[in-house]
C-alpha cells in the first residue's frame, strides 16, 4: 500500500470541455459598463496587492520585523553610548526610528514594480482602457496599509519598552498620518526607478545607495547640534530631518508648524516630479 499511491492524477489536468453555447452567449453580451473612475481602478489594483499579501503572507514579515529589530537594536545597543541611558533615549528615538525604518521599507515598492513589469500580466494591464497611473497608485495604497501596520507594531513595542507620547493619541495619529503621506509621495521615486531599471537587483542597489545616506544623515539617532558646524545646516534641512521634526513634534505635543508644512511641500514635490516621470516611463515601455 505504501507504494501504491502515485501523485499523478490525470483528471486534475483534464478540465471540462469548453461549453461553446455558453461561450457564444457570453460573447453576445456586448453592452459594456462605463469605464471605472481613476480612483476605482486604483482601488482595484490596491485590492490585488492585498490579495497577494493574503496568498503570500511571508512578504509582510520583512516589513514588520525590520522596524522592530531597528527599534530594539538602537535603543538597547546604542542608547547607553549615545544618550547615557536607554529610557530617555527611547523617548527621543522612537519617532525618528519609526520614520527611518518605514522610509527604508518603501524601496520594496520599486522592486515589486520591477518584477511585475516584466511579467505578461502588466502587458494586459497596459492594454486596458484605464487611468495610466492606476496600477502604481494601487501598489502604493496597499503599501500605505503595510506602513500603517508597521507603524502600529513599532508604536506598540515602544509602549511596552516604556515610551510615553506627551502629545497624546491625537498627536500620535497625526504624526503617523504625516509619515504615511510622506511615504506615499516619496515612493513615486521607487515606482519610476522600478520602471526604468533592468532588474530588481539594480533597483535594490540604487535604492540602498540613496536611502542609507538620506536616513542616516538626519536627526533620527542624534541631535545635529553634536555634529561639526558645517554639517549641521545640511542635516537639519534634509526632507527626512524635516519629517522627523514634524513626527517627533506631533508625538511630543510641541510641533513646529514649519516642519509639517515643509514636509507636505516635499511630498507634493515628490508626487509632481516622480509621478510625472513614472507615468511617462510607463507609457514609453
Partner 1 sequence: MAHRDIAIRAEGLVKHFKDIKAVDGVDLSVPAGTVYGVLGPNGAGKTTTVRMLATLLRPDAGSATVFGHDIATDPAAVRTQVSLTGQYASLDEDLTGVENLVLLSRLYGYTKPAARSRAEDLLEAFGLGYAAGKQVKSYSGGMRRRLDIAASIIITPKLLFLDEPTTGLDPRSRNQVWEVIRTIVGEGTTVLLTTQYLEEADQLAGRIAVIDTGKVIAEGTPGELKSSVGAGSIRLRLHNTDQRGHAQKVLTDALGAQVEFDDDPVALTALLKPGEDTAAQGSHALGELAKAGILVDDFSLGQPSLDEVFLALTDRVDA
77 binds partner 1 (CB under 8 A): no
Q: What's 73's DSSP letter?
A: I
Task: Count Cβ neighbours within 10 Å for each residue of 130-157 and write b for 16 or more, e otherwise.
Answer: bbbbbbbbbbbbbbbebbbebbebbbeb
Task: Report the nearest approach of partner 1 to the CB of residue 190 (Å).
Answer: 20
36 binds partner 1 (CB under 8 A): yes
CB closer to partner 1, 84 vs 120: 120
CB closer to partner 1, 5 vs 58: 58
Q: Is residue 235 within 8 Å of residue 218, measured between CB atoms?
A: yes
1 binds partner 1 (CB under 8 A): no
72 binds partner 1 (CB under 8 A): no
CB closer to partner 1, 7 vs 55: 55
Angle, helices 86-105 vs 134-161, to 10°: value is: 170
16 binds partner 1 (CB under 8 A): yes
115 binds partner 1 (CB under 8 A): no
Cell of 110: 520599486
Of residues 218, 215, 220, the one with CA closest to residue 186? 215
What is the x/- site pattern for partner 1, positions 121-140, by CB under 8 A?
Answer: x-xxxxxxxx----------
Q: Is 30 helix (H, G, I), strand (E, B) or coil?
A: coil
- The residues that touch partner 1, with contacts defined as CB under 8 A, are 13, 15-20, 22-30, 32-36, 40-41, 44, 47-48, 51-52, 55-56, 119-121, 123-130, 284-285
Amino acid at each position: 500500500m505504501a507504494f501504491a499511491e502515485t501523485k499523478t492524477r490525470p483528471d486534475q489536468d483534464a478540465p471540462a470541455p469548453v461549453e461553446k453555447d455558453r461561450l457564444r452567449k457570453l460573447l453576445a453580451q456586448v453592452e459594456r459598463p462605463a469605464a471605472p473612475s481613476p480612483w476605482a481602478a486604483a482601488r482595484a489594483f490596491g485590492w490585488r496587492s492585498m490579495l497577494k499579501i493574503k496568498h503570500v503572507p511571508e512578504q509582510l514579515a520583512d516589513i514588520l520585523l525590520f522596524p522592530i529589530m531597528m527599534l530594539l537594536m538602537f535603543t538597547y545597543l546604542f542608547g547607553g553610548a549615545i544618550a547615557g541611558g536607554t529610557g530617555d533615549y527611547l523617548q527621543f528615538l522612537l519617532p525618528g526610528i519609526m520614520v527611518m525604518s518605514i522610509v527604508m521599507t518603501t524601496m520594496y515598492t520599486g522592486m515589486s514594480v520591477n518584477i511585475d513589469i516584466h511579467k505578461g500580466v502588466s502587458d494586459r494591464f497596459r492594454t486596458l482602457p484605464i487611468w495610466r497611473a492606476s496600477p502604481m497608485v494601487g501598489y502604493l495604497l496597499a503599501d500605505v496599509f503595510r506602513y500603517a501596520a508597521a507603524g502600529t507594531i513599532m508604536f506598540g513595542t515602544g509602549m511596552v519598552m516604556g515610551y510615553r507620547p506627551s502629545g497624546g493619541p491625537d498627536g500620535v495619529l497625526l504624526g503617523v498620518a504625516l509619515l504615511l503621506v510622506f511615504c506615499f509621495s516619496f515612493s513615486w521615486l521607487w515606482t519610476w526607478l522600478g520602471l526604468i531599471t533592468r532588474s530588481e537587483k539594480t533597483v535594490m542597489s540604487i535604492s540602498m545607495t540613496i536611502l542609507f545616506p538620506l536616513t542616516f544623515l538626519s536627526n533620527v539617532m542624534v541631535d545635529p547640534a553634536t555634529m561639526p558646524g558645517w554639517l549641521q545646516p545640511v542635516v537639519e534641512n534634509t526632507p527626512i530631518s524635516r519629517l522627523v521634526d514634524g513626527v517627533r513634534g506631533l508625538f511630543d505635543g510641541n510641533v513646529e508648524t514649519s516642519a509639517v508644512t515643509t514636509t507636505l511641500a516635499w511630498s507634493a514635490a515628490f508626487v509632481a516630479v516622480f509621478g510625472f516621470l513614472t507615468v511617462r516611463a510607463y507609457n514609453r515601455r
